[in-house]
Amino acid sequence: MSTFLAVRQVRRPRGTPSAEDFTVVTESLPPLADGQVLVENVHLSVDPYMRQLMNTGEAGTEGRAIGRVVESRAPELPVGTTVFHRGGWSTHAVAGAGEVRRVHQAEGVPLSAYLGVLGGTGLTAFVGLTRIAALQPGEDLFVSAAAGGVGSAAGQIARLMGAGRIIGSAGSAAKVAHLKEIGFDAAFDHRAGPVGEQLAQAAPDGIDVYLDNVGGDHLAAAIDALRPHGRIAWSGAIAQYSSAPPAAPRNLADVMFKSLRLEGFLVREHLDARERFERFLVPHVQNGTVRASETVVDGFENVVEAFLGVLRGDNIGKMLVRVTSTEDWSGRP
């Protein structure tokens, strides 16, 4: 029987994860049952939230992937169909027809974009801006971790929505330069000085909306900068994924005094927005108005290092692992 490679977690890390927390195993592919397909993965997603999965030993077994059907016992998904699934870090996946979603790749759009700016990453940004924060034309926006996948999508989507001033924080001078290239009005390196002071300089008149991917000092700075009745859409807290949670913001009471609204959300609870999101964004990706910012690591053997790189902030845009190039796709496991 054919085999496949998979990454499995072998221990729970204390603090920052390391490569020794994982191993690569060879497993046998089970025979397909009726209604199942065998998928050869082309791209795998590595994301900060997976650090949370390491606390329960699930890292590697859950994760977004795009691949092509190489064997099928599901008539609606013939061999060659491109699909999205959440089967984790492996070269192949067996899934039921109800566990995958067909990807309709638009002309001129790279397949990898459907895990990045047109995938759950971009959808997170879209939902945060449209449903949670209800960003209005002319309103000023601050995005933390803005050079990451969600952040870089958010800045570009906000521009299309007619936002006023768009400000981003990032972790290096190179990332700050990237943000300005993709349309941010101002950006700063959060390692270069206190976040609150830098945000006040970038937005001296304040902000209306904050898309939070970090928490901690970024959240406190945003609360200071927000005008009355401002909104916070909280989609991530990378500042605490590998360390103890920071103390509550010193100015949390200002959420009450300034009549702010803070709402956390999980994109999986808003999948009904996908069709509207794709109708809105695909044409802009096709014509180049929106850039599919991504960092692509080649080779399945580099999945763990790519994941650790996300936690270190090595990536600009979405971090992906290319398992099999579309040009070299064999059609066979």
**Burial category of 222 from C-beta neighbours within 10 Å (exposed 0-12, middle 13-18, buried 19 and up):** buried
Q: Tens digits of per-residue pLDDT, 237-271?
A: 776 666 666 677 889 999 999 999 999 999 999 99
pLDDT at 1: 45
Q: What is the dihedral of CA 246, 250, 252, 254, to 10 degrees?
A: -160
Does position 286 have pLDDT exceeding 50, yes or no?
A: yes
Q: Which of 119-123, 224-228, 284-288, 325-329 has the lowest mean pLDDT?
A: 325-329
Global confidence as pTM: 0.92
Does position 332 have pLDDT exceeding 60, yes or no?
A: no
Q: Which residue(s) pair with 43 in the sheet?
A: 66, 322
Fold topology of 3-115+292-322: Quinone Oxidoreductase; Chain A, domain 1 (3.90.180)
Residue 16 phi/psi, 5-degree rounding, is -70, 130
- Please name which of 251, 242, 186 lies closest in space to residue 217, comparing C-alpha atoms: 251
How many beta carbons lie within 10 A of that of residue 206, not counting itself? 16
Q: Tens digits of per-residue pLDDT, 153-178?
A: 999 999 999 999 999 999 999 999 99
| Average pLDDT in the chain | 93
Task: Give CA–CA dist 158/302, Å, rounded.
Answer: 33
Residue 331 binned pLDDT confidence (cut-offs 50, 70, 90): very low
HEC string for 142-172: EECCCCEHHHHHHHHHHHHCCCCCEEEEECC
Residue 236 binned pLDDT confidence (cut-offs 50, 70, 90): confident
Q: Tens digits of per-residue pLDDT, 31-46?
A: 999 999 999 999 999 9
CATH class belonging to 120-268 = alpha beta
Domain extents for the chain? 3-115+292-322, 120-268
Same fold, 3-115+292-322 and 120-268: no
pLDDT at 223: 98
Cβ contact 110:65 at 8 Å: no
Q: Tens digits of per-residue pLDDT, 58-82?
A: 888 999 999 999 999 999 999 999 9
Share of the chain above pLDDT 90, in %: 87
pLDDT at 145: 95
Q: Give every CB contact of residue 298 below 8 A, 6+ residues apart in sequence.
A: 321, 322
Pairing of strands 36-45, 65-72: antiparallel
Q: Tens digits of per-residue pLDDT, 290-317?
A: 999 999 999 999 999 999 999 999 999 9
More reliable by pLDDT, 210 or 216: 210
Q: Hunting for tokens 């067996």 — which residue is that?
A: 94
Does position 324 have pLDDT exceeding 90, yes or no?
A: no
